[in-house]
Structure 1
Amino acid sequence: MLTRRGVLAAAAGTLLLGACGRDGKPEAAAVRAGGGPELVIGATLELSGPGAALGVAQERALAISAEAVNAKGVMVGNIRRTVRLEVLDNRSDPRLAARQATELGRRDDVHALLGGTLAETSMSVIGVAQELRLPFVSLAFGDAITVPLAQRAFIYKVTPEAGDVARRLAQVIDTEGLRRVVLLAEEGLHGDSGARAMTGALRTAGVALAGTVRLPRSKDGVARAAEEAVAARTDGVVVWATAPNSGAAARALRSAGFTGRLFFDAGAVAEETLESHNAPAVEGAYAIHPASLGGSTLANSSATGRAYRELVSQYVRRHGAYNGFAPYASDALLIITTAAKLAASVDRGRLRAYLQNQITDGMAGLYSFTPIRHSGMERHSLGVYRVDGGAWNRLS
């Protein structure tokens, strides 16, 4: 029998293969090929500042995948184009990200934009992308990035929906027999999405929410937030925060005397999450994350599996250990190049039309975009993981 994933994957776009990353300065970089027609994609990423725990890893994966695409080029109509990336460091500053998007968007030779691993930097780009009618694929977590649709016609997102992650987390908590938990959600748009989603998901699962504590951005407030969460006297804490805030929260909770179970949303997972300063605190923690984390994609013999194996191989060779972060940037590049192939054009309007009518099997998961759904990751792409022996182990 055909599974839903099998049917969708049968209609999937062409997969990216891997090559290698960049070791240069973080302020700005470009991946260029030889002369000839180009597909130019701008990228504003957090290569420094608080968002670097996510941004640097995504930039490395993006460079690997771009070099692979350029080994053959992208057939756009009857023209084979090379991809040129223009990568800028937004320093985790939303205002700088908006300026970069404006500069890139006003150029006639830039066809699409990706980036923003933080919700705030992505949100600052949205208005610019809409005004300049520039397709933008966000790498950030936060449901407000793609809604309301009337104001997000050119905006797309490759990260999972908060509701899908929350439902899986609530199911795990219920299965583990916990009846009362507290939510520690970071301040900002990502935490707002988590607070809304977890409240409903826990209610549906019959698990009591003892309270919601907001995790501040400043290091000074993390300890106080952790102490407040521990004071709720529950057996479980859901940490809804992006790295490195997620690891800092785990350390603070353990320092405050919490010995119960920790549960992370997908944004918590980065290379930094399992580094030595976090390892004791996160051991035994659960996380909901796309299937690329647990190595199931590596074992897949499909084109996706082969591409992902090559990505991991090149990443390890160029940058050292690879801990299974989701290559959202690679998938964003795949989605844009697939749209260009389908549209037989690099015109921004045509790219947008084919972005919102696309089913693509990516490295992080399966994507299904429609005119009324610009957050494309399928919920079936998510898995349940636990940290065992300092590594992510897939449970289901």
Structure 2
Amino acid sequence: MATPAFDSSVLTRRGVLAAAAGSLLLAGCGQRNRQPDDDPTGSGAPGGHELVIGASLELTGRGAALGVPQQRAMEITQEVLNLTGIPVGNLRRTVRLEIRDNRSDPREAARQATELAQRTQVHALVGGTSTETSMAIVEVAQKLQVPFLSLAAGDDIALPLAQRTYIYKLTPDAGDVARRMARLIESLGIRRVALLAAAGLYGDSGVRAVRGALRDVGVELVRTVRMPASGRSLTSVARRAATGEPDGVIVWSTAPDSGAAARELRRAGHRGLLFFDPGAVVEDTLSGPNAAAVEGAYAIHPSCIAVSTLTTTTTAELARRDFTYSYIQRHGTFSGFAPYASDALQLLAGAARSAGSVDRGRLRAYLQTQVTEGIAGGYAFAPIRHGGMERDSLGVYVVSQAAWTRYS
């Protein structure tokens, strides 16, 4: 197989991110060092000397395949950070998590964000693995001026920036994913593809990005089919996407719909290749009912899967390896979607450390100075950019024997 082309112009920037990551990723090493109980920051931290982070996650409902791994990742990273505490001014603060189950309901997510911000007085919010729940939290967080780190995809989450000053997005931008996917498709000699995209803002971002990326590499997009609302049958839309026997079908959606779409496409007679965006890379997509349908499918995803001990040399790689092993030890298998929540906690810890305070406004200001290599990939936030993982963090994976394997 041919190897997809890489953009060498971004590799030096990735090296800078890796070099900058040391202090952030090593925050959990050593023994706890308690400091005096004075609080010169005037932050009025609830519950004592803590960094209190509220999370509204999809722990039940259709979004649980994405939400549950986030809770697991946050708990692992909380323990690591609390081994020493976070140096904030002349104090060391521990992390306290206030996690809520939004049941995959945007209205519940908005209610929880309001309660966490006003009653619990959290210093920051994390969550929303679906675009819909994230957008509901965005409105609350911006109005109440609470920093919010979204775990969902959808380019509109952090835009327009003038109206999203307290909002940050950790997932890759749709344009970066689509360009990597288009280069892969071209390298495989595929000339005609169909796009089966999710409903709503998430699918809208994918449709725009895929159309432009395929046009740039000269691959024909024969048709675009949108999925119905989550939970409804995908049989008819899969048949439409498979009509005319395209060489490949791009499934731009999140689990569990990604695996269900693959099954229905195979039932509709599609025998060509399948291509997934990062929202598919969770255990559910590879589960029993989906296994045969997704075997041989490709996915674009941050390079945090299949960690090799043979090439683990940098601080970021060591942190990624340790996180992966901890996750597998506790939960049996590793979810590629999980590291976003871990990175959210590390980014907030880094902002508090730099700001010398847990004041919400100062956390917001120092989040936009964070340049680091996280568990999922590289981040380079700036006053003019609050969203999107660095594009060179993305890798290409193929499903081989019911596992995500790095493609080369």
Question: Secondary structure of 2:103's partner?
Answer: coil
CA deviation string 1:153-198 (max 9, x = no partner) = 0000110000000000111111111111000001011111000000
CA gap 1:296/1:325 in 2 versus in 1, 3 angstroms: farther
Residue from 123, 139, 163 that aligns with 2:151: 139
Alignment check: 8 A CA contact 1:187 1:215 kept: yes
State which drifts further: 296-305 or 91-100: 296-305
Residue aligning to 2:319: 307
What letter corresponds to residue 8 of structure 1 in structure 2?
Answer: L
Residue aligning to 1:9: 18
Residue from 276, 286, 300 that aligns with 2:298: 286
Alignment check: 8 A CA contact 2:126 2:150 kept: yes
Alignment check: 8 A CA contact 1:180 1:208 kept: yes
CA deviation string 1:178-222 (max 9, x = no partner) = 111000001011111000000000000100111110112344430
State which drifts further: 229-238 or 128-137: 229-238
Q: CA–CA distance in 2 between the matches of 1:137 and 1:194?
A: 21
Residue aligning to 2:238: 226
Q: CA deviation at 1:301?
A: 2.3
Residue aligning to 1:127: 139
Match runs of 1:241-256 below 5 Å: 241-256=253-268
Question: Secondary structure of 1:277's partner?
Answer: helix
Superposition TM-score, scaled by structure 1 size: 0.92
CA gap 1:297/1:148 in 2 versus in 1, 3 angstroms: farther
Q: CA–CA distance in 2 between the matches of 1:372 and 1:152?
A: 11
Q: CA deviation at 1:293?
A: 1.9
Question: Secondary structure of 2:93's partner?
Answer: strand
Residue aligning to 2:56: 44
Q: CA–CA distance in 2 between the matches of 1:227 and 1:296?
A: 40
Q: CA deviation at 1:108?
A: 6.7
CA deviation string 1:63-98 (max 9, x = no partner) = 111111111100001100000000000000000000
What letter corresponds to residue 179 of structure 1 in structure 2?
Answer: R
Residue aligning to 2:342: 330
Q: CA deviation at 1:8?
A: 2.6
Q: CA deviation at 1:357?
A: 1.3
Question: Secondary structure of 2:141's partner?
Answer: helix
CA deviation string 1:114-171 (max 9, x = no partner) = 0000000000011110111000000001001010001100000110000000000111
1:76 paired with 2:88, answer yes
CA deviation string 1:39-82 (max 9, x = no partner) = 00000000000000000011101111111111110000110000
Tell me the matched-pair count: 381
Residue aligning to 2:370: 358
Alignment check: 8 A CA contact 1:48 1:89 kept: yes
Q: CA–CA distance in 1 between the matches of 2:17 and 2:27?
A: 20
Alignment check: 8 A CA contact 1:157 1:375 kept: yes
Identity of aligned residues (%): 62
Question: Secondary structure of 1:158's partner?
Answer: strand
Residue from 106, 114, 124 that aligns with 1:102: 114
| Aligned-CA RMSD value | 1.9
Alignment check: 8 A CA contact 1:17 1:308 kept: no
CA gap 1:323/1:336 in 2 versus in 1, 3 angstroms: closer
What letter corresponds to residue 14 of structure 2 in structure 1?
Answer: R
Q: CA deviation at 1:11?
A: 2.5
Q: CA–CA distance in 2 between the matches of 1:296 and 1:135?
A: 35
CA gap 1:225/1:327 in 2 versus in 1, 3 angstroms: same
Alignment check: 8 A CA contact 2:198 2:227 kept: yes
Alignment check: 8 A CA contact 1:112 1:348 kept: yes
Q: CA deviation at 1:309?
A: 2.2
Residue aligning to 1:25: none
Question: Secondary structure of 1:336's partner?
Answer: helix
Q: CA–CA distance in 2 between the matches of 1:306 and 1:11?
A: 14
Unaligned runs of 5+ in 2: 1-7, 30-46
Q: CA–CA distance in 2 between the matches of 1:324 and 1:256?
A: 29
Q: CA–CA distance in 2 between the matches of 1:298 and 1:152?
A: 42
Unaligned runs of 5+ in 1: 20-34
1:349 paired with 2:365, answer no
Alignment check: 8 A CA contact 2:28 2:85 kept: no
Question: Secondary structure of 1:232's partner?
Answer: coil
Superposition TM-score, scaled by structure 2 size: 0.90
Question: Secondary structure of 1:301's partner?
Answer: coil
CA gap 1:172/1:349 in 2 versus in 1, 3 angstroms: same
Q: CA–CA distance in 1 between the matches of 2:184 and 2:96?
A: 43
State which drifts further: 179-188 or 9-18: 9-18
What letter corresponds to residue 15 of structure 1 in structure 2?
Answer: L
Alignment check: 8 A CA contact 2:69 2:335 kept: no
Question: Secondary structure of 1:294's partner?
Answer: coil
1:166 paired with 2:178, answer yes
Q: CA–CA distance in 1 between the matches of 2:191 and 2:306?
A: 27
CA gap 1:352/1:43 in 2 versus in 1, 3 angstroms: same
Q: CA–CA distance in 2 between the matches of 1:97 and 1:326?
A: 19
